[in-house]
Amino acid sequence: MITYKQFNLSDCLNSLIVADEYVARLYGIAGDNVYLLPRGEQAKTFAETENLCKWFLSKNLGRNGRVVAVGGGSVGDVTGFACSIYKRGNVNLTHVPTTLIAQIDSAVGGKTAVNLDGVKNAVGTFFDADTLIDIGFLQTLDNRQILSGCGELLKYRMLCTNIDKVYCGKITEDVIRACVDYKLSLCQVDMYDLSSRRALNFGHTVGHAMELSCNLPHGIAVANGLYYETLLAHKLGMCSKAYFTKWSAEAAKLTDILPVNKEILKLVTADKKNIGNLICFVLPNDFRQTILSLEQVISLLCCG
């Protein structure tokens, strides 16, 4: 269930709260029922998951218990993963996303993940959770975090004309609701990411490669990925020059588009959606699966 309301710490006295160190300091989250994770992607490891499960055990978390994950995407991903395997997933989880990216994307749809051997989200599960969205959290984000969220929002605007109409240059609760509703509509027909939900991976194939190799915040990497995947579509004759010009300008408003090279593009071979050596993209403007070889991608994006 998704609820839109103000988050009150006092409603969580009987729950176990998981937050990262930064979020806990910012919102004064402390106490015996609070577990702190390191900030960002560092939290997304098996070791952190094991420690979190041990803490759940030490707190006698049982099937009627509730865990509340307060934070950005990493807190949600690792807490969701721990909840999905602890006592075979017989616990309740509420996500309280504090970043724009988490509110419009990662805290909705039940994906959990940790990273492994440098591969982002290499291990994970699907785990149903509730989500409480408090748009007030967005006021505490710095410009870099907002821009990163806008990278993910740009994906939604390109996928769904209605979201682009609602957006009008401002992040409002209506915009967040439009993204969440759209995502839920895809997840309802394809929870396990086998068909239509894959549209949400638009921008993420090149984006994940750039996130790792250029050490970019997720949404900024996605904005770069949207640029390159739209360029790829244009070069393949799948979208018009006008379409590419319009949306590449939107991506460039969020970040300087970084150059790609063979070394960066080789990282797309680790993508989970790939079939053997072939790389699966979802490209505009039909957002269906397009399968290309690495050599094709390199020649289209690196050679003029």
Determine the interface stretch with ligand GLY among 40-48, 55-63, 104-112, 132-140 (rule: CB under 6 A): 104-112
- In the set 65, 109, 124, 217, which binds ligand GLY (CB under 6 A)? 109
Q: How far is the CB of 8 from ligand GLY (least distance, A)?
A: 27
Contact in structure between 225 and 206 (CB atoms under 8 Å): yes
Nearer CB in complex with ligand GLY: 181/266: 181
Q: How far is the CB of 1 from ligand GLY (least distance, A)?
A: 17
Nearer CB in complex with ligand GLY: 65/76: 76
Contact in structure between 183 and 255 (CB atoms under 8 Å): no
Going from the C-alpha of 221 to that of each of 46, 49, 143, 182, 257, the distances in angstroms are 24, 26, 16, 22, 9
Nearer CB in complex with ligand GLY: 102/135: 102
The residue sitting closest to ligand GLY, measured at its beta carbon, is: 200
Residue indicated by tokens 């750039």: 210
Contact string (CB under 6 A) for ligand GLY, positions 190-229, x = contact? ---x---x--x-----------------------------
Residues 6+ apart with CB under 8 A from 303: none
Give the sheet arrangement for strand 92-97, strand by strand.
2-4, 130-133, 92-97, 66-71, 16-20, 34-37
Q: How far is the CB of 196 from ligand GLY (least distance, A)?
A: 10
Q: How far is the CB of 79 from ligand GLY (least distance, A)?
A: 16
Q: How far is CA 74 from the centre of its chain?
A: 9
111 near ligand GLY, judged by CB under 6 A: yes
Residue indicated by tokens 């109409």: 165
The CA angle 137-251-283, to the nearest 5 degrees, is: 105
Map residue 168 onto helix, strand or coil.
Answer: coil
3-state helix, strand, coil in the chain (%, to 5): 55, 15, 30
105 near ligand GLY, judged by CB under 6 A: yes
Determine the interface stretch with ligand GLY among 103-111, 128-136, 242-250, 261-269 (rule: CB under 6 A): 103-111
Nearer CB in complex with ligand GLY: 174/193: 193
Nearer CB in complex with ligand GLY: 109/151: 109
Q: How far is the CB of 110 from ligand GLY (least distance, A)?
A: 8
Beta-bridge partners for 119 = 116
Give the residues lining the site for ligand GLY (CB under 6 A).
105, 109, 111, 193, 197, 200
